[in-house]
Amino acid sequence: MGAIVPDNMPQPPKEYTYTQKEADFCIHYAFNNNGTEAIKAAHYDISSDNSAGVLANTMLSNIKISTYISIIKQSLLSPNIINRAESLEILSKIARNTYYHGKDGDIITPSPNMNAIDIVNKMTGEYAPIKHAMLGRIVFDIEFVTGEPNEAADDAIMLE
């Protein structure tokens, strides 16, 4: 018999068998992202927080545990939050100005929205990495911590 999961939680994948403690660990971890606390909440027999942390790390590297945690986290996402693909789709429509419609449902196509195009390009990595060049002189002022003056230190060092 598999683990008993609350009705408001997604059921574990059928390809794996979970103990009650494993299922409880997954549920608690999905909510708080704290392995030590999830181990304690799942009532594992541990002697210290350090032991709980080690056990949590071991469990999180197990594919069946990480799979169920991902399923739970996915179910917790609000349907009102858009994902990356939806963001790109909406921004692309704005960039093409096909996102806005006229009174009769006609598509209005004025000039492209350059801000939306810029955001889409940044999200998809279309821009080359920014390179910075330093031109001119770099001036260093040297102060001696000992407080003893040094004739050579009176002048600033300049690199060209």
**pLDDT tens digit sequence for 105-160:** 665 555 567 777 788 777 777 776 666 666 777 666 666 666 555 555 455 454 44
What was the pLDDT predicted at 55?
A: 95
Which residues in 133-144 are b (16+ Cβ under 10 Å) and which e?
Answer: eeeeeeeeeeee
Q: Confidence class of residue 1 from pLDDT cuts 50, 70 and 90?
A: very low
Q: Give residue-wise pLDDT tens across range 145-159.
A: 665 555 554 554 544
What was the pLDDT predicted at 47?
A: 92
Distance CA 42, CA 46 (A): 11
Distance CA 26, CA 35 (A): 9
Which one has a higher pLDDT value, 90 or 38?
A: 38
Decide yes or no: CATH 1.10.10 for domain 20-76.
Answer: yes
Q: Stretch 60-79: mean pLDDT, rounded?
A: 87
Is 81's pLDDT higher than 60? yes
| Share of residues in the chain with pLDDT > 90 (%) | 30
Q: Where in the chain is the domain with CATH 1.10.10?
A: 20-76
Torsion of CA 36, 60, 73, 31, to 10 degrees: 0
Q: Residue 135's closest CA among 115, 154, 159, 155?
A: 159
Q: Stretch 35-40: mean pLDDT, rounded?
A: 94
What is the pTM (predicted TM-score) of this model?
Answer: 0.49
